[in-house]
Chains A and B, each alone.
Chain A
Amino acid sequence: DAKTTQPPSMDCAEGRAANLPCNHSTISGNEYVYWYRQIHSQGPQYIIHGLKNNETNEMASLIITEDRKSSTLILPHATLRDTAVYYCIVRVYNQGGKLIFGQGTELSVKP
């Protein structure tokens, strides 16, 4: 079972920051938080991951709370092409490190 909770849907205006929350209150000390997104009918795309420090790359920023029970993915300037389902995943390391996707957040970026 997925160890994360996300809102089912969110809207964001084009050009504004999109802040996608995720709760993972049962996370263990050595478990990473990963974010992927999936545009309709395509394979999931890796975005970013982190353990306890905030992380930033060319796609997004990841803010993890100090107690690690929640995190926020930030897309700083959302575009229409960012419309997708965003998945927050707590990584488990059994079965080769399989990914357990929950229901995700469907982000709609509107003009």
Chain B
Amino acid sequence: DVKVTQSSRYLVKRTGEKVFLECVQDMDHENMFWYRQDPGLGLRLIYFSYDVKMKEKGDIPEGYSVSREKKERFSLILESASTNQTSMYLCASSSVRLLQETQYFGPGTRLLVL
């Protein structure tokens, strides 16, 4: 089974703090994604990566950066957290070789910025 893990299920941070969210997948997937999910807005793509050290902006990259130094790990960084970044953050991964690139999700990190 594909396993995608995220470093924290719940996180509370203060405005202005630097926040790191980590995602690890164990299936040698090439593609990795960061989404945020907010009520009434569905999932919105923040960044994605199709290879080590490669990254592409999604629909809402402002205020975020990412890092992919190893194939299995994709980190989302909030450089200076703000209250409007309070959200559920979801990581996903997919393989370009299998199943029309079906995406598998982690359990999510619920971030509260005070």
Give A contacts to B, CB under 8 Å: 2, 32, 34, 41-46, 49, 91, 95-103
Contact = CB atoms under 8 A, between A and B. Distances in A.
Interface residues of B, number: 28
Interface of B: 4, 31, 33, 35, 37, 42-43, 45, 48, 50, 56, 58-59, 88, 90, 92, 94, 99-108, 110
Given A42-B108, A43-B90, A32 B48 contact: no
Contacts of B45: 95, 98
Contacts of A98: 33, 35, 45, 48, 58-59
B73 to A, nearest CB: 17
Contacts of B107: 42-43
A43 B103 contact: no
A91 B56 CA distance: 19
B94 A97 contact: yes
